[in-house]
Amino acid sequence: MSMAPARDIAVLGATGSIGTSALDVIARHPGRLKVGLLAAGSNVEALLDLCRRHRPRHAVIADASAFPALRDGLREAGLETTAHPGDALDALVAGDACDTVVAAIVGAAGLPSTLAAARAGKRLLLANKESLVLAGALLMAAAREGGATIVPIDSEHNAIFQCLPDRHAHAGLRRLVLTASGGPFRGRSRASLADVTPAQAIAHPKWSMGPKISVDSATLMNKGLEVIEAHHLFAVPGERIDVLVHPQSLVHSLVEFVDGSTLAQLGLPDMRTALAVGLAWPERIASGVAGLDLLAEGGRLEFEPPDLEAFPCLRLAFDALAAGGTAPAVLNAANEIAVSAFLQGQVGFLSIPRLIEDAMTALPPAPARTLDALAEADAAARRHATAALARFA
């Protein structure tokens, strides 16, 4: 039995796919793990339901129009949870309401709270990959200066984290190999993807996830964002990060060392494993995920190269990483606009990479040493891509 005091956990993006999985793991360990703060975007009913179940000290709703419903709902439920509007989030994350932060807001909207957790030296379970793509160097520096421990909550990076436990191993690192499921359209030609629908794009064969990352998986932009994410998390240049399609999604990534060893982490595709690693590291706790039975899973692990012809988003992400400066911020912002337009039926699937490439061409990389420079590039890319939607409809 562990003698450590219970961890106070803030779950940001509590009503989402990662948030729900995190709360599932936390609820399995009362006494060891408790919920200090829950934050969500706009779904008050779902947030109230979570507050009734997990009884946090604080609840935050980002959508200002939903704040009265949260405050009144908490009072009517007789809970001691304090309701807060979205602008209270960063201070709460940095304060004593939590020592551990699950950063699982989707998109660049997650950057301020993620940075606040890093600066305040929290244990940061980082699912919000867009914040690393947008401001990876600044975020990693903030974590170093603040004394934060980052545990990546992306299956690939969590796998690498588990395979690369210390700096000594890091010194002998040769390359990282990120595995990719290939998404719902693996094996299809570019031309055949012109008419795919949002419903087809979000029907992921292996992982159950929120709509934005599901579309990113279908375009392979998710893997592209993950290459940039890996570059920042593990200080490895893009030239030493490879992508391998692995349709079974059981090998979550591989790390190759100079001595010829390759280490990998395997498991069923369920984010609760990565979350349990983050919540208890360096200890191990039950996550609710069954062990891996390779025979029951078909007895076969297959690998193939990614098809950059059919899925140009992966190439665009490698290009943005190589270009550096504001290029990844532009890539990420244009992608957020393009994916949202695709989900709303405004543009077709093939317009997603076209919109991103168009924004990257129109907004060439500039130095990105400050958060302001990055925020400006992010905003300019959003404006550019939004105005371009009509051209690519």
Partner interacting with residue 257 (select from ligand NAD, Mg ion, none; CB below 5-8 Å by kind): none
Q: How far is the CB of 155 from ligand NAD (least distance, A)?
A: 6
| Residues of span 67-86 touching ligand NAD by CB under 6 A | 86
Q: How far is the CB of 107 from ligand NAD (least distance, A)?
A: 6
Which residues make up each annotated binding site? 15-18, 41, 43, 128-130, 154-156, 181, 204, 210, 217, 222-223, 226
Tell me the torsion sign for CA atoms 303, 304, 306, 307: negative
Q: Which residues pair with 102 in a beta bridge?
A: 11, 125
Q: How many residues bind ligand NAD (CB under 6 A)?
A: 28
Nearer to ligand NAD, 16 or 36 (CB): 16
Structure tokens at 316: 């665009």
**CA dihedral of 287, 288, 289, 293, whole degrees rounded to 10:** 120
Q: How far is the CB of 87 from ligand NAD (least distance, A)?
A: 11
209 touches ligand NAD by CB under 6 A: yes
Nearer to ligand NAD, 220 or 388 (CB): 220
- Of 15, 219, 340, 351, the one binding ligand NAD (CB under 6 A) is 15
Binding site for Mg ion (CB under 5 A): 154-156
Nearer to ligand NAD, 202 or 388 (CB): 202
| Residues of span 113-142 touching ligand NAD by CB under 6 A | 127-130
Structure tokens at 262: 């390759």
106 touches ligand NAD by CB under 6 A: yes
13 touches ligand NAD by CB under 6 A: yes
Q: How far is the CB of 257 from ligand NAD (least distance, A)?
A: 26
Separation in Å, CA 298 to CA 81, 83, 366: 47, 48, 49
Site map (CB under 6 A) of ligand NAD, residues 27-46, x = contact: ------------xxx-x---
Nearer to ligand NAD, 273 or 358 (CB): 273
Separation in Å, CA 305 to CA 1, 134, 206, 236, 299: 45, 27, 18, 21, 21
Nearer to ligand NAD, 14 or 138 (CB): 14
Which residues make up each annotated binding site for NADPH? 15-18, 41, 43, 128, 130, 210
Q: How far is the CB of 12 from ligand NAD (least distance, A)?
A: 6
Cα(334)–Cα(201) distance, rounded to whole angstroms?
Answer: 18
Residues at the interface with ligand NAD (CB under 6 A): 13-19, 39-41, 43, 62, 86, 104-106, 109, 127-130, 154, 207, 209-210, 212-213, 271
